[in-house]
Structure 1
């Protein structure tokens, strides 16, 4: 059996925002009662529209932000308090890849300096060997020594993302949280970076929490998938099973939006309206104002994520009733 490396149990995270220029502050839940497992050596994809709470979940998972409720456990132990010595030690085993590689890099430092920097910060390895370790990792991600002295502005988008990946991997972490790591890249470069991630995962035995809205990439890289809507998980299961036979109406709409050769355009499910304001969350199922199958109970009762016989889980009153969406 595969062991669990990262466990989120009932985590919630809220923020205060001001309504209008001079309005009062209100709190909204960006993440609401989310439970997930990432297994050793495997990839869990977290998908959903912008504003669904995916990135916040990733930051809470790494201990970059504390949850208001719930627990985060890494290899069976609760995450230490943020900025404590124990937290800093464990962060060498948990790293993040951000969406914008240029923003994630210091434009004043060479690529080699930035890949070596984590080794210096955490005092890993003999001082005289750290540069060689950094160069070895640059080679491992496909950036030769010729790029080592370049500044970030002298590299292409794909090369910068490789540099960010090298910096994250130089400490040999066990877990990577990838927050939309290819969305800012051209399609051809996306494929290169995804293939590189999969190759490195295989060689290093990495576990990935892969945050994305691109289901084509998710199908390629992940074994399990969690679909998120307005801070809650609405469907969870094996990637191929969920994408081949989605059950939740929201998941069906996401899957139908992916272009498939030979599939008529009228097969796409077009949702009405925009995602609700998180600060004015609808009662009951948050998806019910946009759902073509919503019933009266959907507006009043929050559906619970219910495990099915196939091992997947869905949070939907319609699915639970046996009237599976067509």
Structure 2
């Protein structure tokens, strides 16, 4: 993976949890040796089931959490220590959009006050210029002056998410980490917010780390995609390749659940069992208890990445003996 605007190099993050009220503490590996690179002006989608470590990876990318090992580079510079002046300066160029817009907004402040707040914190421009810039940003995301004086509860879910987007963009960042930004919205509103985000990305040349479990949205917004399972990346490559011809058994199962207009219904791959407990991670390949093609080495040996001729990377012992040969659903 070549260097990009954002590079995650072997990052790992674990937490401690107690087994029972008086039990011993055991480690939970939320993120395990993840390496990713996001190119300038493009969108990298990070997908997987709930609990796979996607949101933790996003927080580490912004320096909101420190990895136990590995490091994060933003435009070739390692993230400074959290809450230092250098970190605050860098964070002005890196913003986050959260899943729940109502929880991300202060319910006591008007929308324009919250959109203007980053400018106030960094003391950028005069008071009137800050206000005018906040109004212009609200207009850019499809909100008007009447929305500016509203409180968050007076707006719809889609309008609140537009307000969150305006606040994230007011500092003209280079990178947005979007953590399930449309999953809490109705389908029609999802499309509106996604279209606004894509238009602004082209206009401002934003780079996006787009965290989602919705592959239909991922297909629309991203150029590359990383599939995450139980804290590890199992497949990485161009989005159209992974969605049209997935290689890893887990990616195949995810893609099989996505309907595609104009095609006959593909056979749905039903994974057996539930995702393992991260505190009791299976040995070898973590996916082997649910995998239909698991072999003896999958139980004891953690697979390393192999690069296929089309450029994708896959961590699967079966990748050489079972290469992709045809498009899924064809």
Bucket of the pairwise TM-score, normalised by the shorter protein: over 0.9
Q: 1:266 to 1:165 in 2, by over 3 A?
A: closer
Shift of 1:127: 3.0
TM-score normalised per structure 2: 0.96
Q: Are 1:35 and 2:44 an aligned pair?
A: no
Shift of 1:307: 1.9
2:284–2:299 Cα contact (<8 Å) kept: yes
Give 3-state SS (helix, strand or coil) of 2:234's partner. Answer: strand
Partner of residue 315, structure 1: 315
Cα distance in 1 between the residues matched to 2:266 and 2:38: 36
Partner of residue 248, structure 1: 248
Partner of residue 231, structure 1: 231
TM-score normalised per structure 1: 0.97
Give 3-state SS (helix, strand or coil) of 2:92's partner. Answer: helix
Cα distance in 2 between the residues matched to 1:177 and 1:307: 27
Cα distance in 1 between the residues matched to 2:219 and 2:323: 27
2:284–2:298 Cα contact (<8 Å) kept: yes
Q: Are 1:44 and 2:44 an aligned pair?
A: yes
Partner of residue 167, structure 2: 167
Give 3-state SS (helix, strand or coil) of 2:153's partner. Answer: helix
Q: Are 1:222 and 2:222 an aligned pair?
A: yes
Cα distance in 2 between the residues matched to 1:45 and 1:179: 10
Q: How does 1:135-154 map to 2 (within 5 A)?
A: 135-154=135-154
- Any stretches of 5+ residues in structure 1 without a counterpart? none
Shift of 1:265: 5.6
Shift of 1:262: 6.4
Partner of residue 204, structure 1: 204
Shift of 1:22: 3.3
1:247–1:325 Cα contact (<8 Å) kept: no
Partner of residue 279, structure 2: 279
Give 3-state SS (helix, strand or coil) of 1:319's partner. Answer: coil
Shift of 1:322: 4.2
Question: 4+ runs of 1 displaced by more than 6 Å?
Answer: none
Aligned residues: 325
2:256–2:266 Cα contact (<8 Å) kept: no
Q: 1:130 to 1:323 in 2, by over 3 A?
A: closer
Partner of residue 101, structure 1: 101
1:249–1:325 Cα contact (<8 Å) kept: no
Deviations 1:290-316 (A, max 9, x none): 000000000010011222221110000
Deviations 1:63-98 (A, max 9, x none): 000011101000000000011110011110000000
Give 3-state SS (helix, strand or coil) of 1:59's partner. Answer: helix
